Each structure stands twice: as structure tokens, then as C-alpha cells.
Amino acid sequence: MTFSAILGTGRYLPQRVITNAELARTVDTSDEWIRSRTGIRQRYVAAENESTCDMAEQAALQAITASALAPADLDLIIVATSTPDLIYPSTACLLQKRLGIRNGGAAFDVQAVCSGFIYAASIADQFIRSGAARRALIVGADANSKILDWTDRSTCVLFGDGAGAVILGAAESPGIYVTRLHADGHYADLLQVPSGVSRPSADAHIRMHGSEVFKFAVNIMGELVGETLGVAGFDAADVDWLIPHQANERIITATARKLGLALERVIITVGEHGNTSAASIPLALDTGIRDGRIKRGELLLLEAVGGGFTWGSLLVRY
């Protein structure tokens, strides 16, 4: 049997940091309010001329180096993003060109908002298990700052920009045990950017009913972790690290509590990064690996919920 294993990870955060105190000078908010409701202390914001593909490229190059591979070894590229550089070609095709790959394997984008990385990883896992690909680059990258209404205090304090990348390779043992993907489009109104190509509107900004999203996220994440472990035949006690989507520290804490997992076993980056949408899980994973907390052989549970609503999880032995 063939499984997918994590070969390497990488990340990119833009140079510019915006603290809560800086935001409080332009909108009616405070460092205390943002920290106590979300755990966020600061976020990184892309430069005006810096795009999602620019960030994805830096994260991808780091992941390729960490995997000791060359770009030509990759036969699948999936970019999870809701803020692509262009309507088309996909950011994955633009990235493939930046990496100098000619006549390569499949390259495409996945749009599942904050669950995008889990969706992309699950798709790549199925390519690898079936033998359709052997080495996949998965990038979660979002330039949320470009779709924020910087006068809306209920959203602009929450999000940030960045990119995280993971290379999955074919292996004889897990690797990924299981992935779970879900969606329910009936919740579309609760979190959306209400403009698009075939139905354009003047309001192309993130709009959210925060408290309803919060309640849904807490409930569904609690259910999802139980479902994932059940399907894979593991107990919560087997999990070494929870690597959740980084939207709000209170949602993360509630999920850890549900699992009975001490907060010391949870990678939490929301304080430094804010919510970077599709980039949040690979950024957190890379953080835990590079600072030495996550070690080879440990069992990692990744989970996310996002606009759609979409939600999903991935259980992997690192």
C-alpha cells in the first residue's frame, strides 16, 4: 500500500507587522478587546505590490529545500487560496512557472477558504495513494489584507497575510492515516466576500457574522476531532499535537478541551499571525517543526473550518 508522508515544510510572512495598538489608531478598537476576544496581538500584511503567488513562491522554495528535492521532482502542485493573483491562470500554474518546471504534472487551485489547506492536502493524498502522483507541493496562501474593509473593526482586526507549504511524498507506511472533508453551503451568508466575476458588486470585502461563525466553529470542531479519530481507530490520548486553524484562541482552546489535550500540546500561532485563512495550518505546522516541538514519529491532528461553510481534518504521523 502507498501512503503520503510529510517530506518538508516552508513558510513566508510579509515584512510589515501591524500591531493591535496601530489598528486602534484608525478604527474604534483596543489592544485589550482584540487580545481578550481572539488572542491576536499582531498580524503580517503584504506590501502593495506583493501578491499571493509571491508569498507562495517563498514558502514553496523553503519546503523544497527542507525536503532535499528539486522543483522538477514535483508532479503535482495545489495552491489553496481565496485571493488568487488572477482570475486565471490559477496561482498554482503561476507558481509552477516561478519554480521553473516545464511540462509538469497537474497544477491547480483549491478554494475552500480557511479549510483550503486541508482540502488541498486531502486531494494530494488521494493522488499519491492512487499512484497518480508521487511528490506533491501543497501551498496555503492568502493575501487577506487586499479584501479587508479596513474601516470595519469587526473584521479588520482578525485577519493577516502569509503562506505555508508542505511537500507530500509517496511512502510505504503512514504518513496520513485519514482525511475528512465536509461542507454546507446553507451557511454561505455568515462569512463571505459578496462579490465575484459573474455577480460583481461594489463590496468585495470580507463580511462576517462573528458570533454565529464562532458558535458553529466551536461545535463542529468538537464533532470533527471525534469523527476523525474514530474513523482512523485512534484515541484522543494518542494525539501528540493538535494543529488547528488559527482564527481565534477561544475556538482553539475549546477544541483542545473537547479532546482532553493540554494546551502545551497545541500549536498556537494566532497571536502572532492573526487568521491567515488557507495559510494558517501550514504556517502553524512549519512553526512547530522548525522550533523543534514537533518531532518525527509524532501523531498530528490538523483541523479547520472556514467560509462555505467548509470544514475538514487530517490525521498524520510526522
Residue nearest to ligand COA as judged by C-beta position: 210
Closer CB to ligand COA, 29 or 126, in the complex = 29
Q: For ligand COA, give the closer residue by CB, 52 or 248.
A: 248
Residue pointed to by grid coordinates 496520513 = 176
Q: Name every residue whose Cβ is closer than 8 Å to that of residue 119 and which is 6 or more positions away in sequence.
A: 80, 110, 112, 181, 310, 312
Tell me how far, at minimum, the Cβ of 108 lies from ligand COA, in Å: 22
Selection from 112, 314, 103, 130 nearest residue 225 by Cα: 314
245 as an active site residue: the answer is: yes
CA distances from 263 to 43, 220, 272, 315 (A): 22, 19, 17, 18
Asked if residues 44 and 22 have their Cβ atoms less than 8 Å apart, the reply is: no
Q: Which residues bind ligand COA (CB under 6 A)?
A: 29, 33-34, 37-38, 114, 153-154, 157, 208, 210-211, 213-214, 217, 247-248, 251, 275, 305-306
CB of 97 vs ligand COA, minimal distance in Å: 30
The per-type count for the chain, helices as H runs and strands as E runs, is 10, 13
What is the closest distance, in whole angstroms, from the C-beta atom of residue 290 to ligand COA in the complex?
Answer: 24
C-alpha cell recorded at residue 171: 511512502
Q: Which of 207, 290, 280, 304 is nearest to 40 (CA)?
A: 280
Residue 196 CB, shortest distance to ligand COA, in Å, is 19
Pick the closer one to ligand COA by CB: 110 or 251: 251
Please identify which of the residues 20, 93, 144, 245 carries the catalytic annotation: 245
Q: How many C-beta atoms surround the C-beta of residue 185 within 10 A?
A: 8
Q: Which lies closer to ligand COA via its Cβ, residue 251 or residue 289?
A: 251
Q: Of 316, 284, 305, nearest to 221 (Cα)?
A: 305
Q: Of 108 and 150, which has the nearer Cβ to ligand COA?
A: 150
Closest separation in Å from C-beta 117 to ligand COA: 12
Give the Cα-Cα-Cα angle 83, 88, 92 (nearest 5 degrees). 70
Cis check: omega of the bond before 14, within 30 degrees of 0: no
Distance from C-alpha of 1 to C-alpha of 49, rounded to nearest angstrom: 46
CB of 33 to ligand COA, least distance (A): 4
Decide whether 240 or 272 has the Cβ nearer to ligand COA. Answer: 272
Distance CA 278, CA 55 (A): 12
Question: In the Cβ-directed half-sphere of 242, how many Cα atoms lie within 13 Å?
Answer: 32
Tell me which of 53, 93, 114, 156 is the catalytic residue.
114
Catalytically annotated residues: 114, 245, 275
